[in-house]
Amino acid sequence: MLEQTVAAVAPLDEAAVAAARALQDRLTKPAGSLGALEELSVRLAGLAGACPPPVPEPAAVAIFAGDHGVHAQGVTPWPQEVTAQMVTNFLAGGAVVNAFARQTGATVTVVDVGVRKGPLLSHSVEEGPLPNTPGGGGPRLVSANVRSGTRDLTVEPALTREEARDAVEVGIRIAHELLDAGAGILVTGDMGIGNTTPAAALIAAFTGVDPAEVTGRGTGVDDPTYARKIEVIRTALARHRPDPADPLGVLAAVGGLEHAALAGFVLGGAARRAPVLLDGVSAVAAALVAVAFAPDAAYALVAGHRSAEPGATAGLERLGLTPILDLGLRLGEGTGALLAFPVVAGAVRVLHEVATFDSAGVSEK
Ligand SMILES: O=C(O)c1ccc[n+]([C@@H]2O[C@H](COP(=O)([O-])O)[C@@H](O)[C@H]2O)c1
Ligand SMILES: Cc1cc2nc[nH]c2cc1C
C-alpha cells in the first residue's frame, strides 16, 4: 500500500494552474491584493486539476496518538499516562481541538496508533461510526495500535521497519477513509507525551541542522531538562546515523508511531490530490518524511501555523512553506491548523464567488 501510494503522488496540473492565475487577474480587486491567498488558490487549483478547485470543506482532523520509550530519559515533565487520558478527553469533546473543531465545523477522528497499554485504555471508548455519515458527528476513535509505544531511541531503534511501515499504512488508510466520507481537506493532529523529542530528531535527520537549533521546550521543560533533551537527540543520531534517503529507516530509528502515521496521512492525501493542512512540529517532521518518500507530496501541503518549536521553522523552511498563522501556539492536537482552515477555504471560495471586471461592469485601471 505504501509503494502504491507513493507512486500515485503527482505534480500540479499546469493547465489548472494557468487558468487559476488568469482568473485571479480578472476578479474585481487590484491584482495581487489578496497576497499569499492568491498563490494558495492557484496551487490548490493545480492540486485538484480543476479551476476553480472545490472549496476545501468540510475539514477532517485526525489526531494520531502514541507513546514514546524515550520518556524514560526524562525529556518531558508530564507523566506518560497523559497521552491516554487526553485521548479520552478528545473523545469526550473536552480538549482545545474539540472547541476549534466545533468552531470550524470539522470532524474529529482520534487514532490510537501507539498509545501505551495500561489500565486507562481498557475502559476506552468503543469505535464510533464514520463522521459525516448518518449517525456520525461526534469524535470517533479508531483503534489501530501498532505497538504499545516506541522503544527508547537512545538505546535501540524506536521501531522495526515493519512497525514503521504498519504505522505509515494506518495513516494512509485514515486519509482514504476521511476523503471517502466527504472531507475536502485533511488536518493533522497529534498527541503523545514526549513526542517533541522524536520530532526534533526527525527534523535534524532530514534538514541536517544541529539538534540544538531544532530542539524546543515542548510542553515547557526547564533548563536542565532542555539540555538533556538536546543530548538525547545527539546520542540517538550518533547511534543510528539515519540516512535521509531511506525515510522508513529514519522513522524506525528515531521516529514515533504518530509521526509515521502522520507521514502516511500526508501521502494518502497527496495521492488523492487533496490538501493536507499541517499543524505543529510533529506534523512538520512527518511532512519531511512524506516528502522524502514522494517529493511531489509537497504540493498538497499547507502550513496552518508556525509552532513555537524551533524545529517547526527549520522544517517549514526546508519544505518551502510559509505558515498562515504565527500566534506562538505550542499545543499540537491540530489546533493551529484548524484555526487556519477558514483562511484556506476563503482563498478558494474567492475563485467561485467573486465577480470579474467584465461580468460586474467595473472599469479596469
Ligand atoms: O506541535 C507543537 O507546536 C507542540 C509543541 C509542544 C508540545 N506539543 C504537544 O505536547 C506533547 C509533547 O510535548 P513534550 O514536551 O512532552 O515532548 C504532544 O502531545 C504534542 O502534541 C506540541
Ligand atoms: C494537558 C496536555 C494536552 C495536550 N495536547 C497536546 N499535547 C498535550 C500535552 C498535555 C500535557
Percent with pLDDT over 90 in the chain = 94
The string of pLDDT tens digits covering residues 279-299 is 999 999 999 999 999 999 999
The string of pLDDT tens digits covering residues 137-186 is 689 999 999 999 999 999 999 999 999 999 999 999 999 999 999 999 99
Residue for grid cell 490548490: 44
Top mutation candidate among 219, 221, 226 for ligand 1, by most atoms within 8 Å of CB: 219
Same domain, 36 and 70: no
Number of structural domains found in the chain:
2
Same domain, 47 and 77: no
CA angle 216, 222, 227 (to 5 degrees): 60
Give CA–CA dist 309/195, Å, rounded.
12
Output DSSP code: residue 124.
Answer: P
Q: Which of helix, strand or coil describes residue 78?
A: coil
Query: What is the domain extent for residue 110?
Result: 59-344
The per-residue pLDDT for 55 is: 98
Tell me whether residue 127 is one of the annotated catalytic residues: no
Same domain, 6 and 65: no
The per-residue pLDDT for 118 is: 77
Same domain, 188 and 289: yes
Whether 281 lines ligand 1, by a CB cut-off of 6 Å, is yes
Buried b (16+ CB within 10 A) or exposed e, 80-106: bbbbbebbbbbbeeebbbbebbeebeb
107-114 β-sheet, strand order: 140-143, 107-114, 59-66, 185-191, 276-278, 301-303
Q: Which cell goes with 361?
A: 461592469
Burial of 327 per CB tally in 10 Å (0-12, 13-18, 19+): middle
Whether 78 lines ligand 2, by a CB cut-off of 6 Å, is yes
The per-residue pLDDT for 138 is: 86
Same domain, 263 and 307: yes
Residues 81-108 have a mean pLDDT of 98
Q: Which cell goes with 323?
A: 505558515
Same domain, 45 and 172: no
Same domain, 9 and 91: no
> What's the CATH code of the domain at 195?
3.40.50.10210
Whether 85 lines ligand 2, by a CB cut-off of 6 Å, is no
Same domain, 80 and 107: yes
Give CA–CA dist 193/104, Å, rounded.
26
Residue type for position 210: D
Query: Which ligand 1 atom minimizes the distance to the CA of 307?
Result: 3
Query: Which ligand 2 atom minimizes the distance to the CA of 96?
Result: 5
Indicate whether 365 belongs to any domain.
Answer: no
Question: Of these residues, 163, 177, 258, 333, which one is catalytic?
Answer: 333
Same domain, 46 and 158: no
Same domain, 134 and 83: yes
The string of pLDDT tens digits covering residues 15-26 is 999 999 999 999
Q: Could you tell me which of 202, 222, 235, 227 has the C-alpha nearest to residue 318?
A: 202
The string of pLDDT tens digits covering residues 49-86 is 999 999 999 999 999 999 999 999 999 999 999 999 99
> What's the CATH code of the domain at 31?
1.10.1610.10
Same domain, 254 and 356: no
Q: Which cell goes with 297?
A: 507530496
CB 216 within 8 A of CB 281: yes
Indicate whether 111 belongs to any domain.
Answer: yes
Q: From the CA of 261, how far away is ligand 1's center (Å)?
A: 16
The pTM assigned to this predicted structure is: 0.96
Indicate whether 125 belongs to any domain.
Answer: yes
Which pLDDT band, with edges at 50, 70 and 90, does 120 fall under?
low
ipTM comes to 0.99
